[in-house]
Amino acid sequence: MFVHIVRKLIGVIPIIFGVALVIFILLNVVGGDPTYQMVGKHATVHQIEELRHEYGFDLPKPVQFVQYLKQIVTFDYGRSYATKQRISDMIVGGIGPTLTLAIPAFILTTFIALCIGLLVAYYRGKWIDKVTVVFCVFGMSLSSLAYILFGQYFFAYKLGWFPISGYESGMLERFQYVAMPILIWVIVSLGYDVRFFRTAILEETNQDYVRTARAKGLTEPRVFFKHVLKNSMVPIVTNIVIEIPLLILGSFLLESFFGIPGLGSITMDAIHNSDFPVIKAMTTLQSLLFIFGNLATDVIYTLVDPRVKLS
């Protein structure tokens, strides 16, 4: 497994290079020179040239790309145009609030969705299965913005169960601010996950080994929980691991509407302010998380299914 992981890591290098090239072209070439957005309409030519030299925009594009690759390796993306803070410090400071929101929401969503998916797959075709599927489709059809606005108006403003927005550093104080965003995250994500887990489990029930197990006289619960569930874990684990790098994306709207100073809020502020270094850093971070998340998926395959061999 160690040799396989090393081989995969080596194979990841050209992928990272390609992703970095695409991001650089989009933000530094296609997006134009950000100097004019930074200095405003009434800046002099001398001010523009000084700013371009300060941020290295006057260098040739290949040199700028090499500097960008160096930033990826050293995790030093310079300073924000808007706040003048070091971007690496902003990322480190935003990880805590984001994980405070994302990890409990992700764990709760996965656990509840897996339990419901098992239940409706076991009682496939029955009324509980049909009603659950209808609710899942209905929940997926609503925009996450609708859940946010309804939660803030009804549960926070009308009933006063939660704060409308804000964030505190203390553990107990922090929980009251992230409780409703976590609840909304779970509700928004539940429909898709339940349907996916249900489909993955039902696909295994039609396999030959299931019919053979039933023909041998094994009880339905034993066939379902010992054989079907075990063999359906590969697509389930794949879905779970792939969702982990996307946790930052899932918190964009929630952090913005609820005033949580996490990575999603930092990214949204950077987009509003045309803060290209922060946008570039967050885009690169998201891409790296997704790449290494896929690498982790390949390794986890062997832990849940012995039939998968590393080569």
pLDDT at position 99 is: 83
Residue 181's pLDDT is 87
Residue pair 87/74 in contact (Cβ under 8 Å)? The answer is: no
Domains of the chain (ranges plus CATH)? Answer: 2-74 (no CATH), 94-304 (1.10.3720.10)
| pTM for the whole structure | 0.76
pLDDT in tens, the chain (311 residues): 677 677 777 878 888 888 888 888 887 776 666 666 666 666 677 777 777 777 777 778 888 888 888 888 888 887 787 777 888 888 888 888 888 888 888 889 888 988 888 888 878 878 888 888 888 888 888 777 888 888 888 887 788 788 777 777 777 777 778 888 888 888 888 888 888 888 888 877 777 777 787 787 777 777 777 777 777 777 777 777 777 767 766 677 788 788 788 887 888 888 877 777 888 888 888 888 877 777 777 777 666 665 555 55
